[in-house]
Amino acid sequence: MIKNCKKSCMAVSLLSLALSAASAHAVITADQVARLGADLTPVGAERAGNAEGTIPEWTGGLTQVPAGWERGQDRPDFFADEKPLVVITAANMADHADKLTEGMKAMLKQYPEFSIPVYPTHRTAAWPEYVYENIRNYATEAVFAEDGDAIKNVWGAIPFPVPQDGKEVIRNHQTRFVGTYREVPSAVENTLYNNGQRLEWTYSNNVHFTYYDQNASAEDKEQGVMWKYVSTMLTPSRDSGEGILLLEGLNPTLNPRQAWTYDPGERRVRRAPNFAFDTPDRPVNTIDDYDMISGSLERYDFKLLGKREIYVPYNNNGLNKTTHSIEETYTLPVLNPDLTRYELHRVWVVEANVKPEERHIYSKRVFYVDEDTWTILATDKYDNNGSLWRVAYYYPITAPEVPVTAGGMWVHYDLKVGAYYSLMGVQGQESSQIFDGQPPESSFYTPAAMRRRGR
């Protein structure tokens, strides 16, 4: 009996494993799609508030454009008159421990200057109606491709509005709506050390999110080009003209990220095949720290730990104003906490661990993903000894003219070195970020064009 069953039992076991693997990334049902716009918001968040009333119901988000406002101007701080409900410090953090990340606790313990001002919660997040419609239309078709990393059968939508696992949540972050064309004529980039050393740059930034552009070319759709990125260094003078060009695809296995750099000193454009994963960027961050995590996910296993109510950065139009000076914003040893705003929101918690056969300087990362925008608003990063090493926070802008909650600056703290890195600030600059500008021709995103701009 056992001998006769050997082959058939093995076949059944293999079939069960195959079915299990397939179901792990199965499309959602029509009944689940029907929940979008009902008890769930159009993007898959819980519409209702929490039982305590500290998180309100989502009622459509902020979509009213301020009278007289023009693109390029600072957006109003819509809640400037509010006072913090509480300011969390090392002295009272124990009273709020259940709503803090491990990174927040470590920051509060290490830096007396760090604090978390908590304000009333406003669910201002909103996306355009065509994005909501795309989500509904693709929700029962979107799946991971055979390689398990790319997504297919979807365009212009988050693929998994009702996620079944951690990888789906992170892919939602990577494919979330953040506008169609992001333009920052002059962005601030800093690395600041606790000993007073400051490294400072400004650069232009242009990103065409072809994935959400209703006028995207047939070629971009066919090739699965998700976004095109160009930056050109403006200051300091020794770095002026340096350029980066990136083309990101939906299938990082078949169509991996294409990257080029331009060195004005040599007047040469070079391919940059290592512009990914844990390749060092600035001294205290890696290439895939961009946007909290970017690029291929192939080196990690992702585990969904569920949802929590956490204090996270939100509605940070006040911080992201051009009228603040660099000196008052980028203080030591932490970003000026008086300019920041945190609110209580529900977040998906995802733990990423390096696969046994892979390597990365971060052995584990924990992501806190806002349910209303699918944006990673905080992350904790651990070294290969399992010790908390770096923590990061994303301070988004609320832009009702699009509408979208996106952009703004993010900050990475290195708890060992005693330093932090910030990117995408506009403090002291002439123009704020634009999310729905007119994108240039495709020729703008070519090595030849980057070389001409860098002269």
pLDDT digits (tens, 9 = 90+) for 213-223: 999 999 999 99
Kindly state whether residues 9 and 124 are assigned to the same domain.
no
Sign of CA dihedral 215, 221, 224, 225: negative
Kindly state whether residues 170 and 302 are assigned to the same domain.
yes
What integer is the mean pLDDT of 153-171? 97
Residue 109 is inside which H or E element, if any? helix 102-110
pLDDT digits (tens, 9 = 90+) for 42-99: 999 999 999 999 999 999 999 999 999 999 999 999 999 999 999 999 999 999 999 9
Number of folded domains in the chain? 2
DSSP E strand boundaries for 209-332? 225-235, 243-249, 258-263, 268-271, 300-313
| pLDDT value at residue 204 | 96
What integer is the mean pLDDT of 334-342? 98
Q: Please, are residues 155 and 133 in contact by the beta-carbon 8 Å criterion?
A: no
| pLDDT value at residue 148 | 76
Q: Which two tokens stand for residue 172?
A: 């939602």
Asked whether residue 73 is assigned to any structural domain, the reply reads: no
| pLDDT value at residue 325 | 97
Asked whether residue 171 is assigned to any structural domain, the reply reads: yes
How far, in Å, CA of 412 to CA of 364, rounded?
16
How far, in Å, CA of 160 to CA of 13, rounded?
28
pLDDT at 412 over 90: yes
Kindly state whether residues 425 and 354 are assigned to the same domain.
yes
Assess whether the previous peptide bond of 56 is cis (omega < 30° from 0): no
How far, in Å, CA of 392 to CA of 328, rounded?
20
| pLDDT value at residue 344 | 99
Which residue's entry shows tokens 């832009």?
Answer: 399
What integer is the mean pLDDT of 234-242? 95
How far, in Å, CA of 103 to CA of 58, rounded?
28
**pLDDT band at residue 11 using 50, 70 and 90 as cut-offs:** very low
**pLDDT band at residue 25 using 50, 70 and 90 as cut-offs:** low
Listed in sequence order, the residues at least 6 apart from 336 whose beta carbon sits closer than 8 Å to its beta carbon are: 328, 329, 330
How far, in Å, CA of 272 to CA of 277, rounded?
12
Kindly state whether residues 23 and 165 are assigned to the same domain.
no
pLDDT at 180 over 50: yes
Asked whether residue 122 is assigned to any structural domain, the reply reads: yes
Percent of the chain topping pLDDT 70: 94
**pLDDT band at residue 7 using 50, 70 and 90 as cut-offs:** very low
Kindly state whether residues 118 and 23 are assigned to the same domain.
no
Kindly state whether residues 6 and 96 are assigned to the same domain.
no
pLDDT digits (tens, 9 = 90+) for 365-406: 999 999 999 999 999 999 999 999 999 999 999 999 999 999
Identify the weakest region by mean pLDDT among 190-194, 249-253, 410-414: 249-253
CATH number for the domain including 373? Answer: 2.50.20
How far, in Å, CA of 280 to CA of 29, rounded?
42
Q: Please, are residues 377 and 386 in contact by the beta-carbon 8 Å criterion?
A: no
Closest CA to 453 of 233, 187, 185: 233
- Helix, strand, or coil (residue 176): coil
Kindly state whether residues 327 and 402 are assigned to the same domain.
yes
Kindly state whether residues 147 and 285 are assigned to the same domain.
yes
> Which amino acid is residue 178, in one-letter code?
V
Asked whether residue 221 is assigned to any structural domain, the reply reads: no
| pLDDT value at residue 294 | 94
Asked whether residue 211 is assigned to any structural domain, the reply reads: no
Kindly state whether residues 117 and 9 are assigned to the same domain.
no
Q: Please, are residues 233 and 203 in contact by the beta-carbon 8 Å criterion?
A: yes
- Give the domain extent around 23: 2-30
How far, in Å, CA of 245 to CA of 230, rounded?
5
pLDDT at 455 over 90: no
Considering only CA atoms, give the Rg of the chain: 22
Considering the chain, what is the average pLDDT of its residues?
Answer: 93
User: Phi and psi for 302 in degrees, rounded to 5?
Assistant: -115, 130
Sign of CA dihedral 286, 289, 295, 301: positive
| pLDDT value at residue 2 | 36
Kindly state whether residues 137 and 14 are assigned to the same domain.
no
Asked whether residue 247 is assigned to any structural domain, the reply reads: no
How far, in Å, CA of 106 to CA of 95, rounded?
15
| pLDDT value at residue 192 | 98
Kindly state whether residues 427 and 306 are assigned to the same domain.
yes
Asked whether residue 193 is assigned to any structural domain, the reply reads: yes
Asked whether residue 62 is assigned to any structural domain, the reply reads: no
Percent of the chain topping pLDDT 90: 88
Kindly state whether residues 92 and 24 are assigned to the same domain.
no
How far, in Å, CA of 346 to CA of 309, rounded?
4
Bridge partner residues of 346 (DSSP): 309
